[in-house]
Amino acid sequence: MQREGADITAEDMVGPLTEPSNIQQYFSSSTIFVTGATGFLGRLLVEKLLRTCFDLSKMYILVRPKGNKSVEQRLQEYFDDALYERLKREKSEAMAKLFVIEGDCYLPDLGLNEQDKQLIISEVNYIFHAAATLRFNEKLRVAAYTNARGTRDILKLAKKITNLRSFVYVSTAYSFCPRKIIDEEFYEPHITGDKLLTLVETLNDDVLEKIAPILIDEWPNTYTFTKSVAEDIIRKESNGLPIAVVRPSIVVVTSKEPVSGWINNSYGATGIFVNIGMGVVRTLYCDATYVSDLVPADYAINTMIAAAWNIAKTRGSNLNSEMPKQETDCNNIPVYNYVSSTQNPITWRECISKGNQHLSKAPSVLQIWHSVFKTTSSTYGYLFLHYTLHLLPAYIVDFLAFCIGKRPQMVKMYGKIEKLLDVLGYFMRREWVFRNNNTQELWKMLNDEDKKLFEFDMSLLDWDMFFYTYVRGVRVYLVKDPLNTIAEARAKRFKLMIAHYALVTIFMSIFVMFVWHVML
């Protein structure tokens, strides 16, 4: 019997320990440094490490300066989220191990002062570099400084750490998206990190933005382009560091941990799904037969932690700051493509179908119109549907709003949505062949206890159950619509459906009468 309602915060099904966790033992008494800790994946990573690897010594997180707020206030704000409720309940003492270091990956040397640099050099054992600007259409200067220079500068710092056991760089499966087949290996972009950063540091904003399309070349946006350059910096400048690259694909809500369905942003596919569910997006320019490559956020986090453990186990500690400069053999740097298409593929059509199926049982009371949706891979077909299903109704609603003295806003809203759809459309009209042998082998290396604590085997994921979680999680954590309004929302959904088909009938009748009149 399918569950309903309050199960959104159900505990994951981890049983009692049957054997020691190798991963927990490796992180015991260690100090961890995390960049990007205030982002979606960063928050999940911090929570998971504090709750599961609770014997760690300290964790430092890089956080941008924020006004005159004290460290205590910053930490209180950081933990003020439903994401951390389980941590507070089970391992509240671990929260005292988290410390803030002020810095910014957009700035040279991560914006760190000398005292904090020395602190990291002397204490840190594990680095998770997850900081990045995630806006696909970010200005090239911002993307290059944050994603490429930030990576170069943290590598410089890592080389000075005397007891570095592991460094995990969080990239994206689409860093080399111009390729059709993406293996777990490094590829060379058409421009090196040094050349790109020299250009960015030399040119002014106007000139840089004019030549950006030339620099980006085949890449669809500045995000994927600068992530490819960052990977090349890792390949060339890691100089024997114990390092690994994890490339997750399209990361969405959590499957189980620490709560089911948690998400705090509407980037990417989730933004589209939300707008479909609200009745705002009614058509999408995509090939629905293509595989979507969605992955749960908690699974991606577990992959990162397992990768860090494996590197620490196989590569040991960094030598020291006197290590001679030499180009790293990139074949010795493991790359993990974390994708769903190789073991458990699901198409965009199946995603939308399962999403709508569960949405009909748990709609949002904030839904603004009946959800009717159609995909097309035809450019002209999409333009026709976009104008008839999006822009025409938007202009009509704005005209009526103007007539009654309200502020017109629908056309402006659809303008923003169209920009989102345009950016994401690239990934919904293409399909890639990913190989993930390293990731599958990493899973096999885990003992039974670690497989319970750090689950990431995509072949075991039940997509139907996941979308049940997805819909409810987005409803609760993103839309901020509690589950106790489901009955009210179902009633509203029914009324919106009646109103929708009534309007369709009226407009079709008017159209038929007009055609009949013209023909006569």
- What's the pLDDT at 316? 63
By three-state DSSP, how is residue 96 classified?
helix
Average pLDDT over residues 15-25: 74
Please, are residues 414 and 387 in contact by the beta-carbon 8 Å criterion?
no
| 10 pLDDT more than 70 | no
Lowest mean pLDDT among 101-110, 161-170, 316-325, 507-516: 316-325
- What's the pLDDT at 385? 92
The per-residue pLDDT of the chain, averaged, comes to 90
Q: If we measure between CA atoms, which residue out of 376, 351, 364 comes closest to residue 477?
A: 364
Place of tokens 């007009």: 514
pTM of the model: 0.91
Q: Is the domain of 403 the same as that of 488?
A: yes
Give a yes or no: residue 118 inside a domain.
Answer: yes
Give a yes or no: residue 98 inside a domain.
Answer: yes
| 6 pLDDT more than 50 | no
| 287 pLDDT more than 60 | yes
Average pLDDT over residues 179-205: 96
- Give 503's pLDDT tier (boundaries 50, 70, 90): confident
| 7 pLDDT more than 70 | no
By three-state DSSP, how is residue 19 classified?
coil
Place of tokens 């929708």: 500
- Give 66's pLDDT tier (boundaries 50, 70, 90): confident
By three-state DSSP, how is residue 338 classified?
strand
- Give 72's pLDDT tier (boundaries 50, 70, 90): confident
| 1 pLDDT more than 60 | no
Q: Is the domain of 214 the same as that of 333?
A: yes
Q: Is the domain of 425 the same as that of 440?
A: no
- Give 19's pLDDT tier (boundaries 50, 70, 90): low
Q: Is the domain of 251 the same as that of 381?
A: no
Digit-coded pLDDT (tens) for 409-428: 999 989 988 888 888 899 99
CB atoms closer than 10 angstroms to residue 323: 13
By three-state DSSP, how is residue 69 classified?
coil
- What's the pLDDT at 481? 94
Q: Is the domain of 259 the same as that of 354?
A: no
- Give 507's pLDDT tier (boundaries 50, 70, 90): confident
Please, are residues 64 and 73 in contact by the beta-carbon 8 Å criterion?
no
At position 354, the amino acid (one-letter code) is K
Q: Is the domain of 45 the same as that of 83?
A: yes
More confident residue, 266 or 467: 467
Q: Is the domain of 439 the same as that of 493?
A: no
Q: Is the domain of 80 the same as that of 139?
A: yes
| 116 pLDDT more than 60 | yes
Please, are residues 172 and 246 in contact by the beta-carbon 8 Å criterion?
no
- Give 318's pLDDT tier (boundaries 50, 70, 90): low
Give a yes or no: residue 474 inside a domain.
Answer: no
Number of domains within the chain = 2
Average pLDDT over residues 201-215: 94
Q: Is the domain of 307 the same as that of 361?
A: no
Angle of helix 410-428 versus helix 392-403 axis, rounded to 10:
160
At position 353, the amino acid (one-letter code) is S
| 325 pLDDT more than 50 | no
Digit-coded pLDDT (tens) for 211-243: 999 999 999 999 999 999 999 999 999 988 999
| 15 pLDDT more than 70 | no
Q: Is the domain of 85 the same as that of 160?
A: yes
Digit-coded pLDDT (tens) for 340-376: 999 999 999 999 999 999 999 999 999 988 888 899 9
Digit-coded pLDDT (tens) for 128-140: 999 999 788 899 9
| 319 pLDDT more than 60 | no
Digit-coded pLDDT (tens) for 441-491: 999 999 999 999 999 999 999 999 999 999 999 999 999 999 999 999 999
Give a yes or no: residue 279 inside a domain.
Answer: no
pLDDT above 70: percentage of residues in the chain: 93
Average pLDDT over residues 267-278: 90
For 173, the domain range is: 5-17+25-265+293-345+432-462
Q: Please give the structure tokens belonging to residue 213.
A: 């399309």
Average pLDDT over residues 300-312: 98
Q: Is the domain of 423 the same as that of 484?
A: yes
